[in-house]
Chains A and B, each alone.
Chain A
Amino acid sequence: MEFLELIRTGPAQAKLLRGPEAPPLRGILCVTGHHLLLSPGPQGTSDLWLLLLHVAGAVSYDSGTITLRCKDLRVLQLDIEGVEATLDIARSIEALSSLESVITSFPFFYRPKGLRLGDAWHFHPPERYYKRVARETNAWRLSEVNEDFSLCPSYPRAVIVPRAVDDDALARCAGFRQGGRFPVLSYHHAPSGTVLLRSSQPLTGPQKRRCAEDEELLRSVLAGARPGAPGFILDTRSAQAAKQARVTGGGTEAKAAYPGWKRLHRPLERGRPLQESFVRLVEACGDLEKSMDGWLSQLEACRWLAHVKEALSTACLAAWGVEREEACVLVHGAEGTDSTLLVTSLAQLILDPLSRTMTGFQELVEREWIQAGHPFQLRCAHSAFSHARPKHEAPTFLLFLDCVWQLGHQFPLSLEFGEGLLLALFEHAYASPFGTFLCSSEKERCLCEVRTQTHSLWSGLNQPKVRRKLRNPLYVPSPLAIWPSVEPQSLQLWQGLFLRWIRPPEPSQVAWEKVWQRLASKEKTEDCEPTSKPQL
């Protein structure tokens, strides 16, 4: 195997310290191309398999001890016999966990039993969502103008655009938008007959350039909606920042050029500050000795919950526009691949009951994050434990998951999935044996043959046994929008994620299991009815 030269060590004796309560795990430690294996031997308890992809950049070691900080925020401490062996193992792990190449990564080797390659890949193609839109309105069409990814490298091969705009016009629109991300349909809200769109910033530049096709596109959006519907452009930057972007060729839509559209600015934090917020929160959560005041001040200083509040309230605003103002809303920031997706996906979750189901939510993640070109490869490479401070790292997707968790917390009956699915998505976005979150765009995924050579996370999660565990036992479908409270008193720290490995197992988990039991017994008694009725 090609990793052989990177593995500097043979098996060694090691001991895993597992926190204060659990006894340490002793056994033989092996490093393979993709895994770290600690086996206590045939008589012992189960083996520990750690996917090396999970190890976040840094491995710290001093005489005989290795500390592994994982991307899922777990910290493992290994005591290894022999200084030489320790060093070798540490170096092997470091080398193997920081391999950059996509096609030698584990998903290309992972062949689980019971799954067939290419199985669930076609669960959520763009056509599928278009079918739903087409049932509700005739104003939109599916365009394959981007089939070879030449127009926009970060869009999927098919996008939904106004029927009145032809492919040539789209091409010119793409030239006027950063990265070619021209306005496309994100969500059609049937009750109001209006839509949610997303794009990147227009390239107005210092000369205040205009683009007739782009203006025409937005005009036809309004024409296709409910008559008289107003349009709102929700810019996720401050007015100041949007103006400044003109210097570097970007900018925002000029009022005069887009009649019927009004612009709103809701600045959302992104990139570096967001990543720092994440790192500081994880640091704060790791310190158990902290006083009450110290904890509260760090919770404040890291600003994570402030970002949650901003993201949720901006999404509420977009949703409010679509449903209550019965307006068309276009969301964009600069590149349109981060906070834009955060807002459009959350707004759909608030408005669309279908996206709150297990399948619908997976479809939402696939459509609004993966296919919409959120650069997972760049954003989710290191998680919170990286010394390197990589430039493109940002927990935007985690922020989305946190907001979904807050929704689930405020509407415990309204999401078909439980916390388990959100935790799984967090884990898999950062490191996964599946190929779903590999690469940064559909184009790259095509080039790397991700779809044919790796397994899809969805097929993994939708195995009946796994799926059942991810369900919310209390789910009751509701056709209405769910409007969350965004007051600071209503938002809570997502303990299940940030304190997952830190706090001892909670009695509340036991309580949840009890809820599960109740549900099972309810299903059982309900099932009894039909059998007793015929006997009558």
Chain B
Amino acid sequence: MEHIRTTKVEQVKLLDRFSTSNKSLTGTLYLTATHLLFIDTHQKETWILHHHIALVEKLALTTSGCPLVIQCKNFRIVHFIVPRERDCHDIYNSLLQLSKQAKYEDLYAFSYNPKQNDSERLQGWELIDLAEEYKRMGVPNSNWQLSDANREYKICETYPRELYVPRIASKPIIVGSSKFRSKGRFPVLSYYHHNKEAAICRCSQPLSGFSARCLEDEHLLQAISKANPVNRYMYVMDTRPKLNAMANRAAGKGYENEDNYSNIRFQFVGIENIHVMRSSLQKLLEVNGTKGLSVSDFYSGLESSGWLRHIKAVMDAAIFLAKAIMVENASVLVHCSDGWDRTSQVCSLGSLLLDSYYRTIKGFMVLIEKDWISFGHKFSERCGHLDGDPKEVSPVFTQFLECVWHLTEQFPQAFEFNEEFLLQIHEHIHSCQFGNFLGNCQKEREELKLKEKTYSLWPFLLDDQKKYLNPLYSSKSPKFSVLEPNTVSFNFKFWRNMYHQFDRTLHPRQSVFNIVMNMDEQNKQLEKDIKDLESKIKQCKNKQTDGILTKELLHSVHPESPTLKTSLCFKEQTLLPVNHALRTIEGSNPADNRYREYAEEFSKSEPGVVSLEYGVARMTC
């Protein structure tokens, strides 16, 4: 490619991010069309996708070489020292070009080829079918119908083609309402609660200014409350802080005037805007990236970044929404300014609390497709896929994932998926490897012909499903049908495995989930062995009674039970996971992979004392 001048630099040092004594690994740096690759002397590979790079910095030349710092969107930070300044400069320039593409067509997804044919690819795209999902919720029904008003994206460009609205809302009402809403995003159905017959609807702010009204919009809201046969009033949740909403009135926008709408209960919930969130995350990352961070700096930094306060605000809003439906049986209309950031957060989290389907692996994909992708959360702008306005970048979706993570911490049995699944999704909203998150709305995606030119992420995650299963999941438990999280402050914790996912030295050294998963597997295997053996015994006995028990038959039993043998190996190894002698014993190979991980964890534990190096250095000097 034209941007790559140097493809290989030797003798490059990779500094340990948290080491105070500049501990480093030496290796070779390779630059490919899609990745930056570092291979150290132990042959350990570090792959960095160009699209993941958020920032490249070339620091002042030092005696050992030219430092190059790369910050990634998945919170990886690497610090290289390149011996020659010219090489460093070349790499720096190449990365600047490669990490910021001007056109969608240059993104990785358009060249990524996982060796699937066209029909497989199409099948992948059809895995998530939103029409099917609305059917599952119970729409269309006597109160809600599919509207074809936006079939050609004529009313709202950022909405999907297929929208569900109250049956009594006629097309002129919809068109009228859309003219009164910012970006034409009029109130539509996001989630329908079958038992309560109540709905979550979403829209953007009304163009009410100081006094404007719109009869069609008022009618549409009334139609939504009428579509709920149980409760005549509905909530209108403005997810912004009141002050922000009032400021918008001066610009001819604003919020609903309770006097103009019959039967609405208006509520502000105070989630801050994308700019506040962006700088909050920035501060958080600054704090936790500090070398030799003290406990008190960590907590005061965590506090002043406000990050956890914002997470709590989103969670509180979702709980308000879920309660309105569960306790009061009321429908709720949610909006913010444009209705694609905070609204997506609150609607999707609210649905997740209400409906256990969204807590399964497939259901969570559906939820993201519905409330985020199809309703026009601007993934490409928020994730900075292309070289664009940095003010449009904001970690709105990351916050959603973090809220879900907090729920998985509070309800470890309520989710089919584990933390790894959330991390993997986060990885791919930025990777541009799959087509799902490219573009800012459905219309744009269709124009890009993503379904023909790129692959969908979901089938790949489903194929790998085993990695993402939560061993503690209990799908049947009625306790977890509706989640009622407790948002007392001490329940909110720093999500280390997200913001330090590549800083392995900070992680717990052993994973409970893994061992429970393995235990389950062994269990299944053992049970299967028992069954096999029992059936063999039966066979033998039958033959015995027939009087034809031969030696051969007895022998045939043995060769056929290697499964038992390996499982016995498993058992021995469980007792001695890091005994090197045992790992070389012949026949124990199947277990090797499992324990290599542990041995690695142990060897990794050495840098864990990195923060002590100061003391150790003093010891030896």
| A residues neighboring B (CB under 8 Å) | 232, 262, 264, 266, 285, 288, 290-297, 299-301, 303, 305-306, 308-309, 313, 316-317, 320-321, 324-325, 327, 409-414, 474, 476-493, 495, 499, 503-504, 506-508, 510-511, 514-515, 518-519, 521-522, 525-526, 528-529, 532-533, 535-536
Contact = CB atoms under 8 A, between A and B. Distances in A.
B543 interface: no
A325 B530 contact: no
A347 to B, nearest CB: 12
B508 A410 contact: yes
Contacts of A294: 489
B196 interface: no
Given A300-B295, A477-B576, 9 more contacts: A293-B306, A478-B602, A483-B606, A485-B506, A486-B609, A492-B493, A495-B490, A528-B530, A536-B536
Contacts of A483: 605-606, 608-609
A484 B609 CA distance: 7
Contact of B303 (A293, A493, A532): A293
B252 to A, nearest CB: 34
Contacts of B527: 525
Nearest to B515: A474
Contacts of B554: 536
Interface in B284-304: 288, 293-300, 302-303
B507 to A, nearest CB: 7
Contact residues of B: prevailing secondary structure:
helix
B494 A489 contact: yes
Contacts of B510: 410-414
14 contacts: A232-B619, A262-B619, A292-B303, A313-B611, A316-B612, A317-B619, A325-B619, A478-B602, A486-B608, A488-B298, A518-B520, A518-B523, A529-B530, A536-B536
Contact of B506 (A305, A320, A490): A490
B37 to A, nearest CB: 27
Interface in B364-421: 409-414
A479 B537 CA distance: 41
Given A292-B492, A325-B616, A483-B609, A503 B486 contact: yes
Contacts of A526: 526, 571
A96 B615 CA distance: 49
B132 interface: no
B413 A510 contact: yes
B611 A491 contact: no
B516 A515 contact: yes
Contacts of B18: 487
Nearest to B499: A489
Instruction: List 8 A-B pairs, minimum CB-CB distance, nearest first.
Output: A300-B299, A488-B298, A295-B489, A296-B303, A306-B295, A483-B605, A292-B309, A511-B412
B522 A317 contact: no
Nearest to B508: A410
Interface core residue of B471, B511, B527, B619 (most chain A CB under 10 Å): B619
Contacts of A305: 295, 299
Interface core residue of A306, A486, A487 (most chain B CB under 10 Å): A487
A411 B508 contact: yes
B579 interface: yes
A301 B308 CA distance: 18
A264 B618 contact: yes
B533 A296 contact: no
A488 B299 contact: yes
Contacts of A301: 296
Contact of B609 (A292, A316, A411, A489): A316
Given A488-B294, A493-B490, A409 B508 contact: yes
A504 B492 CA distance: 15
A156 B18 CA distance: 43
Contacts, number: 205
B209 interface: no
Interface core residue of B18, B516, B564, B615 (most chain A CB under 10 Å): B615
A317 B488 CA distance: 37
B620 interface: yes
Contacts of A478: 577-578, 602
A242 to B, nearest CB: 15
A412 B619 contact: no
A487 B410 contact: no
A482 B609 CA distance: 11
A488 B496 CA distance: 10
Nearest to A285: B490
Contacts of B618: 264
B302 A296 contact: yes
B472 A511 contact: yes
Interface core residue of A301, A483, A504 (most chain B CB under 10 Å): A483
Contacts of A511: 412-413, 472
B574 interface: yes
Interface in B569-621: 571, 574-579, 602, 605-606, 608-609, 611-612, 615-616, 618-620
B522 A488 contact: no
B231 interface: no
A506 B293 CA distance: 31
A291 B299 contact: no
B214 interface: no
B512 interface: yes
Contacts of A317: 612, 615-616, 619
Contacts of B295: 300, 303, 305-306, 308-309, 488, 491
Given A296-B308, A483-B609, A508-B412, A477 B489 contact: no
A428 B294 CA distance: 32
A474 B512 contact: yes
A163 B39 CA distance: 52
Contacts of B506: 485, 487, 489-490
Given A411-B508, A526-B571, A488 B293 contact: yes
A325 B615 CA distance: 12
A447 to B, nearest CB: 41
B534 interface: yes
Nearest to B529: A529
Interface core residue of A292, A526, A529 (most chain B CB under 10 Å): A292
A477 B575 contact: yes
Nearest to B504: A485
Interface core residue of A316, A413, A414, A499 (most chain B CB under 10 Å): A413
Nearest to A509: B412
A480 B410 contact: no
A309 B296 CA distance: 11
Nearest to B409: A508
B530 A482 contact: no
A482 B309 CA distance: 35
B288 A325 contact: no
A299 B308 CA distance: 14
Contacts of A485: 505-507, 608
A519 B471 CA distance: 13
Nearest to B527: A525
A504 B486 contact: yes
A504 B494 CA distance: 21
Interface in B231-290: 288
Interface core residue of B479, B536, B612 (most chain A CB under 10 Å): B612
B526 A292 contact: no
Contacts of A293: 303, 306, 309
A296 B510 CA distance: 28
Interface in B527-561: 527, 529-530, 533-534, 536-537, 554, 557
Nearest to B410: A507
B516 to A, nearest CB: 6
Contact of B490 (A297, A499, A532): A499
B424 interface: no
B312 interface: yes
Contacts of B297: 488
B474 interface: yes
B298 A489 contact: yes
Contacts of A321: 616, 619
Contact of B413 (A309, A507, A519, A533): A507
A300 B300 contact: yes
